[in-house]
Amino acid sequence: MRPSRDHRISFGVQLALVVLWLAYGLFLIMTEPGNSTNDRHFIHYVFLILALGYLVFILAQNTSVFGRQSYLEITPAYVVEKRGHFKKKIAVHLQDVTEINLTPAQARFSMRDGSRCQVSLKLISTRKGQRVAKEKILEVAEKHGIPVTENSGTSRR
């Protein structure tokens, strides 16, 4: 559910909508007369199942109920970022990289074709892990002869 290109509905609002849909579906099923001869109750069950499916989807996307699904992988040939169950992997092949710009929050890669790609270092929760990831990026950059610039801004929120 995305009402516009740059504003997403927050997890809390999505959860509230699903709870409302579940309550509405249960209300429709419970208030259906027992001696009714129509098949409207079938649609109510379909609505309830779809609401439950959406609940599982938003829980899988926004929580670690089904395990942690975001990661940053650094190998000698490529850097891979995966942000969740239903998101694409971002793979940066280091043989196509001309320059790397490291900031405290992300690594930006300039590619041979002129495009830019960035991966978030915030996927790693500890400062030590972020430092190790930066060291690995510097190591593979040195191996491939890629120039690296570091912008170590000290701004804190």
Q: Is 119's pLDDT higher than 90?
A: no
Sorted by where each begins, the domain ranges of the chain are 11-62, 71-150
Distance separating alpha carbons of residues 55 and 128, to the nearest angstrom: 35
Distance between the two ends of the chain, CA-based, in angstroms? 29
Q: Are 89 and 80 in contact (CB under 8 A)?
A: yes
Express each pLDDT in 16-49 by its tens digit. Answer: 999 999 999 999 888 877 766 667 778 888 999 9
Mean pLDDT (the chain, rounded): 82
What is the reported pLDDT for 109? 92
What is the reported pLDDT for 61? 76
User: What dotted CATH number matches 71-150?
Assistant: 2.30.29.30
Burial track 2-37 (b if 16+ CB lie within 10 A, e otherwise): eeeeeeeeeeeebeebbeebbeebeebeeeeeeeee
Distance separating alpha carbons of residues 76 and 100, to the nearest angstrom: 15
What is the reported pLDDT for 68? 64
Element (H, E) at 32: none
Q: Is 157's pLDDT higher than 60?
A: no
Per-residue pLDDT band for 156 (boundaries 50, 70, 90) equals very low
